[in-house]
Amino acid sequence: MIAVTPHTRRGCSRLATVVFVLMLGWMVAACGGSAAGSSSASSANDSAPGPVQVLYAGSLVRLMERRVGPAFNKATGITFSGYGGGSTQLANEIKGRVRTGDVFISASPQVDDMLKGPANGAWVSWVADFATAPLVVGFEPSSRFAAALNTASWERVVTRSGFLVGRTDPVLDPKGRLTVEAIQQAAQGTHDPALLALEERHDTVFPEETLLGRLEAGQLDAGFFYANEAKEAGLATAALTPVSLSATYTLTVLEHAPHRAAAVSFVSYLLGPLGRRLLAADGLHIATPPHVTGTGVPMTLDSVLGR
């Protein structure tokens, strides 16, 4: 049996204190190491180059998803994530924080105005107009009305009894507004009440992202499209002579973009030599250089914007 003396008790107390301090040090070091690891992981994530979220006019869906997106990913290693819809509808969704994006591509400069200024959330501070495409009547080459559309004036064909022509919603899509304007201009020249009646019909209005599919499925005889999307789909086209209206495609990096570096890389690619080649092959008329308005353009884009 060991006798416990005051000296023994003091020794045990000192030993316990030393053990406690050592254990506390190990715990702090472990926590510190964990925090440092977490910080490093966070920093690595913050500097990750993507993906890039591109919100674009629905008339560009095949170009973006089949050509530009895959080519951009191959060239940069950055994942392309795209969503197409009516430009006005997309602007409303951005403004209402319903949809998040890094790059916004519209088919009308007027749509970009919806996102400018503090009252509109200040989502857009600069815009580059980079391409145009005329509005046309698009139809399948094998259509029962193909011969008529190739020889007669378009306004006489689309107003024939039984002819089914589709268009997009003018409230949600600039193409729909241009279509209404084209019909009105043609009606003023021909004084044809059937054209004005066509403008009043709402059963011919479809979402931009479904209009082409309805035509290809045989549900429509023709539709109002931009020349580039008609070319991409292999459609025959009839010019709207004497009416001449076009889409003006614009792009910007959205303020508050979650992947800003990736967004700048995408714009640099799209307006660079490789991207411009894809745009031209799709039938778009490229603006050289793009027309830029506003302030706050990233300096790294000066070369592709001709600044």
CATH number of the domain at 212, please: 3.40.190.10
Judgement on whether residues 115 and 137 belong to the same structural domain of the protein: no
Confidence of residue 26 (pLDDT cuts 50, 70, 90): very low
Beta bridge partners of 131: 249, 286
DSSP one-letter code for 116: B
Average pLDDT over residues 17-36: 38
pLDDT per residue as tens digits for the range 259-295: 999 999 999 999 999 999 999 999 999 999 999 999 9
209, 225, 246: which is the final residue of a domain?
246
User: What backbone phi and psi angles, to 5 degrees, belong to 19?
Assistant: -60, -45
Confidence of residue 209 (pLDDT cuts 50, 70, 90): confident
Assess if residue 25 is contained within a domain.
no
pLDDT per residue as tens digits for the range 146-179: 999 999 999 999 999 889 999 999 999 999 999 9
Judgement on whether residues 141 and 238 belong to the same structural domain of the protein: yes
Assess if residue 44 is contained within a domain.
no
With vertex at residue 24, the alpha carbon angle to CA 20 and CA 25, rounded to the nearest 5 degrees, is 120
Judgement on whether residues 190 and 89 belong to the same structural domain of the protein: no
Assess if residue 159 is contained within a domain.
yes
Assess if residue 26 is contained within a domain.
no
- State how beta strands 222-226 and 126-139 pair: antiparallel
Assess if residue 22 is contained within a domain.
no
Judgement on whether residues 239 and 265 belong to the same structural domain of the protein: no
pLDDT at 50 over 50: yes
Confidence of residue 46 (pLDDT cuts 50, 70, 90): very low
Query: Which residue would you say has higher pLDDT here, 37 or 215?
Result: 215
Which residues form the domain of 210?
133-246
199, 221, 246: which is the final residue of a domain?
246
Judgement on whether residues 160 and 226 belong to the same structural domain of the protein: yes
Judgement on whether residues 205 and 106 belong to the same structural domain of the protein: no
Please state the domain count of the chain: 2
Confidence of residue 49 (pLDDT cuts 50, 70, 90): low
Judgement on whether residues 109 and 95 belong to the same structural domain of the protein: yes
pLDDT per residue as tens digits for the range 229-246: 999 999 999 999 999 999
Q: What is the pTM of this model?
A: 0.82
CA–CA gap between residue 209 and residue 197 (Å, rounded): 25
| DSSP letters spanning 188-238 | HHH--HHHHHHHH-STTEE-HHHHHHHHHTTS-SEEEEEHHHHHHTT-EEE
Assess if residue 294 is contained within a domain.
yes
User: What backbone phi and psi angles, to 5 degrees, belong to 82?
Assistant: -115, 155
Judgement on whether residues 258 and 112 belong to the same structural domain of the protein: yes
226, 246, 266: which is the final residue of a domain?
246
Judgement on whether residues 119 and 137 belong to the same structural domain of the protein: no
